[in-house]
Structure 1
Amino acid sequence: MPSSSPETVGVEEEFLLLDPGTLVNLPVAEAVRKSLPEDVREQSRPEFRQSMLEMVTPVCTGLDEVREQLLRLRRAAARAAVENGARLVAVGATPVAEPERTVPDDPRFRAILDHYGPVVDDPAVCGCHVHVGVPDRELAVRVCNHLRPWLPVVQALTVNSPFHAGRDTGHASWRAMQLDRWPALGPSPWFASAGDFDRTVELLVASGVMLDESLVLWHARPSARYPTVEVRVADVCPSVDDAVLLAGLVRALVATALADIAAGRTGPAVSDLALRAAHWNAAHQGLDGTLLDPRDGRARPAWDLVDELADTVTAALVDFGDLAVVRRQLARIRRDGTGANRQRRAFARTGDLGSALIAG
């Protein structure tokens, strides 16, 4: 999704392919991809687990276009899954089990398996990644500094994986807890420049923490392939509405950061430890109760921080024409809850995990 403008946005969604009866992961991704119409297949990508399907929107300039593309891709992927005996599910972590955990026959995937060993055996997890166009890589690195204190709030809004092994894990995002086993994931460090970023990556590759420079998997990063900032903190969103909200907020955060940089303001030097604690808190609780504000270390009511985030990016939302959409979707989540809330509520009502995943 090449782009160089802060108005542009693209979304990558990872989905699970489940057995409709048992809800066990099915390793049929390649067959599903082959069943997609050719124009949709071009927007799909193979993933590390053969029970996962990634769909990638084209570069979009507005949230209406994002919505249209997400609907088109989800509908086509769901049809192709049914044709191959599977059910496409937008949930952040394997809800029951993944008996077949071999990686696709790809040299890159095999190298990761050899390097990281049993960590790679974890069952599939699915995220939603948002790309926002930026003018150059130096700015992309600096934008990531500005995003750091807000990404725990974004994470709390998008938690969507409370179930694993057929039961409630007690965490709103089991995906986030599972990914903590991997090195070089988690909050982006604060970097003084693109050169500082490159030197740090070189150090991590030399140590073996990263297999190579492509395994920069922080919550926000300059994309390795596109002239964008990529935000990777969210679980895959249960609905298109949730994904549109995520795209709108992330684009507005990036635009706000660019405006701050142009005005000579630097990103806050938030403690790495405080930031990790804030992300754990967000993944554990979602929007239930309090979130840690990493800027001052205080626990605050979760919706107070959501409201502050919305206020911070209001000018950008107005510029993009997104204010009404984002406000409407935030009001919906305040009323109906996050994906994790909705899954738990449906499961409590029916006792059926399959129904809970549909309700997510």
Structure 2
Amino acid sequence: MNEPFSASTQEPVRTVGVEEELLLVDTETGAPRSMASQVLRVARRHGDTEVDAGQAGGSVGPELQEQQVETDTPAEEHLALLEMELRRWREKARSAAAEAGARILASGTTPMPVRPQAFDDARYAQITEQFGLTASEQLTCGCHVHVSVASDDEAVGALDRIRSWLPVLLAMSANSPFWQGADSGYESYRSQAMTRWPTNGPTEVFGSGRAYADHLRLLVDTGVPLDEGMAYYDARPSRSYPTLEVRVADVCLDPRDAVLVAALSRALVGTGAVEWSLGRPPDAAPVALLRLAMWQAGRHGLAGDLLDPLTHLPRPARQVVESLVAHVGEELEATGDTARVEEGIDRLFSQGTGSTKQRAVLAEEGRLDRAVVRLAELT
């Protein structure tokens, strides 16, 4: 990882990497397929699993259920390289799935009805035993962005200062309108399904890396979460890398939207780190209020009002997104990402989010199974 960027000292740009969870679906019917084990065997033969690749970032790997796989990119400084790597690893997952007899689908939930089957892994088996239907019915796919940080204290300092803005990223990435074969009425139903976990959602203000570590130990000592890895928060300091992991987004149908989320996540972390270093206090909004903001974002996406992160009152989505860009403007300028971000936002508001496209494809195809096959082709 490179050292983090500081607008005042012109240090190197923060690196950013993306993890994408992808569904496995039938090539003809679009129904979810329990084929992760077969797909990963193919990927392993091709040298595309992390064990064989021998590096952090750049792999196809397992997730909780057999109907999904996860890809991750290497850490990159430049968004053009990040997009190239994201597309490359989607293609590797697509190729492995095709060889095994399936397709990949970038959707936050499966549109078709499903009975998930847990991946054969000891930890996943423990999770399923501990959490019952919450785990056995869980089949959701997110986009997790890792942004480099210099220390645990910087990670938590930034986390404390970005938490009010994270619902905006959810709204922009919304890509899960369907659940068990029906329209959920939400732009991101994945965000609703995730609330069933007891350790999901926004975080309180911690103040320091030590306070966050103490918080995790307190959670694990209750015996409810199996380990610190079950802190499924909207954002969290990574256990594996020197990064702050922004976990709030749905996996995006269009990879350009994933890169947009990554750009804004990096800018938010950079802005939050600068505010922390200057001693500027974070927004002290209670977690209950942030949960309402997240619900609003998941329900309406960019199609209605969002809760303004500064006032916590309803405001048109376009205005809230523009406030986010203004908030992180210095970081976007410093990394050279301003034009790309503005172009991506214009595209989102003119063409719609992934949920908009999913519903449009269903309207054109007339049947959900046909729509899923076409969405897999778009993936």
TM range (shorter): over 0.9
Do the aligned partners of 2:114 and 2:180 also contact (CA within 8 Å) in 1? Answer: no
Counterpart for residue 9 of structure 2? none
TM-score, structure 2 length as denominator? 0.90
Indicate the larger mover: 310-319 or 345-354. 345-354
1:223 aligned partner: 238
Residue 164 of structure 2 aligns to a residue in which SS?
helix
Is 1:5 equivalent to 2:4 in the alignment?
yes
**Which residue is 2:351 aligned to?**
336
Contact (CA 8 Å) 1:184, 1:209: kept in 2 or not? no
- Determine helix, strand or coil for the equivalent of 1:17: strand
**What is the distance in 1 between the residues matched to 2:320 and 2:23?**
31
**What's the CA shift string for 1:209-238, capped at 9, x where partnerless?**
322222111011000111100000000011
Q: Does the 8 A contact of 1:4 with 1:228 survive in 2?
A: no
* Cα contact 2:16–2:146 (8 A) shared by 1: yes
Q: Secondary structure at the match of 1:16?
A: strand
User: Which residue does the alignment assign to 1:207?
Assistant: 222
Mapped contact 1:16–1:52 kept (Cα < 8 A): yes
1:299 and 2:314 matched: yes
Report the more deviating stretch, 120-129 or 20-29.
20-29
1:186 and 2:193 are equivalent in the alignment: no
**1:96 Cα shift?**
1.0
Match of 2:285 among 270, 293, 296: 270
Residue identity in the other structure for 1:92: G
In 2, the alpha carbon distance for the partners of 1:212 and 1:295 equals 34
Instruction: Report how far residue 34 of structure 1 moved.
Output: 2.1
Tell me whether 1:90 sits opposite 2:106 in the alignment: yes
Give, in whole Å, the separation in 2 of the partners of 1:40 and 1:107. Answer: 23
Aligned-partner Cα distance in 1 for 2:365–2:119: 36
- Structure-1 separation of matches of 2:15 and 2:182: 39
Q: Does 1:281 align with 2:296?
A: yes
Say if 2:345 is the partner of 1:346: no
Range moving further from structure 2, 74-83 or 332-341: 74-83
CA separation in 1, counterparts of 2:131 and 2:338?
A: 43
Instruction: Provide the C-alpha distance between the structure 2 equivalents of 1:167 and 1:215, rounded to a whole number of angstroms.
Output: 29
Q: Which runs of 5+ in 2 are unaligned?
A: 6-13, 51-58
Aligned residue runs from structure 1 range 1-360, under 5 A: 4-6=3-5, 7-36=14-43, 38-42=46-50, 43-99=59-115, 101-353=116-368, 354-355=370-371, 357-358=375-376
Aligned amino acid, residue 42 of structure 2 = S
Once the 2 structures are TM-superposed, how far is the Cα of residue 266 of structure 1 from its aligned partner? 2.1
| 1:264-302 per-position Cα deviation (integer Å, ceiling 9, x unaligned) | 212211121110000001001101110112543311111
Structure 1, unmatched stretches of 5+, are: none
Query: Letter of the aligned partner of 1:32 in structure 2?
Result: V
Residue pair 1:17, 1:51 contacting (<8 A) in 2 also: yes
| Aligned residue-pair number | 358
SS of match in other structure, 1:182: coil
SS at match of 2:302: coil
Question: 1:114–1:123: structure 2 CA closer, same or farther, 3 Å change rule?
Answer: closer
**Aligned equivalents of 2:220, 2:187: Cα separation in 1:** 32
| TM-score, normalization by structure 1 | 0.95
Distance 1:347 1:113 in 2: 33
Whole-Å Cα distance in 1 between the matches of residues 298 and 78 of structure 2?
29
Letter in 1 for 2:175: N
- The answer to whether the 8 Å contact 1:28/1:51 transfers is yes
1:13–1:236 CA contact under 8 A, matched in 2: yes
- Rounded Cα–Cα distance in structure 1 between residues aligned with 2:232 and 2:285: 19
Conserved? CA contact 1:4–1:136, under 8 Å: no
In structure 2, how many angstroms separate the alpha carbons of the residues matched to 1:35 and 1:150?
40
RMSD in angstroms over aligned alpha carbons?
Answer: 1.6
Deviation larger for 108-117 or 126-135: 108-117
